[in-house]
């Protein structure tokens, strides 16, 4: 009999302790997180991106990048949007990608995404934006002798910074350099042969 009382006490005491702990951990305020062990990590003292900031002279939290810095793995494009710069780019820029079927197929995919709306699927300048009347100037026929006679560097350059006339916009911020080279390869090697 004495043994049973002791056994009950062993189970009752932990049960009361656990119940007390559970009820004491409940909080009536729903907005309180309870105990915070690392307040500096829970309650950040940082400024929001677009908030005012007294630490800077212009009171803006999101500061522009330091002048002259560039994003990692980005090589600045050193050619301007003039005819002379276009010719210079054609002479100086060299495509390091091999002329192989895989690159031409990827160039075709990129061409269809970025170029066919204006230049058309066959490159004749009859894309939807022109045929629908949304764009009044007819885009260049990329299969013409004029375009096909240009060095591949010029096609890459125009894709990057846009045309000298300003009718074609720059695509350098939308298409990475490798894909621009693939588009130029596709224009030079596939559009003219209609393969």
Q: Does the residue 3 lie in any domain?
A: no
C-alpha torsion 42→48→52→53, nearest 10: 60
CATH number assigned to the domain comprising residue 104: 1.10.760.10
Q: Give the span between the Cα atoms of 180 and 158, in whole angstroms.
A: 10
Q: Does the residue 165 lie in any domain?
A: yes
Q: Does the residue 22 lie in any domain?
A: no
**Strand, helix or coil for residue 52:** strand
Q: Does the residue 186 lie in any domain?
A: yes
**Strand, helix or coil for residue 81:** coil
pLDDT computed for residue 40 by the predictor:
66
pLDDT computed for residue 76 by the predictor:
83
pLDDT computed for residue 25 by the predictor:
64
Q: Does the residue 28 lie in any domain?
A: no
Q: Give the span between the Cα atoms of 109 and 155, in whole angstroms.
A: 17
Q: How far is CA 57 from CA 53, 63, 71, in A?
A: 9, 11, 25
> In this structure, what token pair is assigned to residue 137?
């100037």
pLDDT computed for residue 20 by the predictor:
80
Q: Does the residue 120 lie in any domain?
A: yes
| Domains of the chain: total | 1
CA atoms within 13 A on the CB side of 30: 0
Contact 181, 89 (CB under 8 A): no
pLDDT tens-place values along the chain, 195 residues long: 555 566 666 778 788 888 887 776 665 666 666 677 776 666 777 888 888 999 999 999 998 888 888 878 778 889 999 999 999 999 999 999 999 999 999 999 999 999 999 999 999 999 999 999 998 899 989 999 999 999 999 999 999 999 998 889 999 989 999 999 999 999 998 876 654
Q: How far is CA 128 from CA 6, 72, 122, 139, in A?
A: 89, 37, 12, 11
- Which candidate, 186, 194, 193, 192, places its Cα nearest to that of 115? 186
pTM of the model as a whole: 0.65
pLDDT computed for residue 84 by the predictor:
95
Q: Does the residue 107 lie in any domain?
A: yes
Which phi and psi (to 5°) does residue 60 adopt?
A: -110, 130
Q: Which residue range(s) make up the domain with 147?
A: 83-191
Q: Does the residue 11 lie in any domain?
A: no
Judged on CB neighbours under 10 Å (0-12, 13-18, 19+), 76 is: exposed
């Amino acid at each position: 009999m004495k043994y049973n009382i002791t056994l009950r006490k062993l189970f009752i005491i932990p049960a009361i302790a656990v119940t007390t702990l559970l009820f004491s951990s409940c909080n009536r305020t729903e907005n309180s997180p309870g105990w915070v062990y690392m307040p500096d990590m829970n309650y950040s003292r940082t400024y929001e991106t677009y908030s005012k900031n007294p630490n800077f002279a212009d009171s803006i939290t999101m500061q522009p990048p330091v002048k002259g810095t560039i994003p990692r793995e980005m090589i600045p494009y050193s050619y301007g949007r003039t005819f002379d710069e276009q010719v210079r780019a054609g002479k100086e820029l060299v495509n390091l990608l091999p002329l192989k079927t895989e690159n031409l197929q990827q160039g075709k995919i990129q061409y269809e995404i970025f170029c066919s709306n204006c230049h058309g699927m066959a490159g004749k300048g009859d894309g939807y934006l022109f045929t629908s009347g949304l764009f009044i100037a007819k885009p260049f026929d990329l299969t013409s002798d004029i375009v096909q006679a240009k060095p591949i560097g010029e096609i890459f350059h125009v894709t990057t910074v846009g045309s000298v006339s300003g009718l074609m916009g720059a695509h350098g911020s939308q298409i990475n350099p490798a894909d621009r080279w693939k588009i130029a390869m596709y224009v030079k090697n596939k559009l003219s042969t209609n393969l």
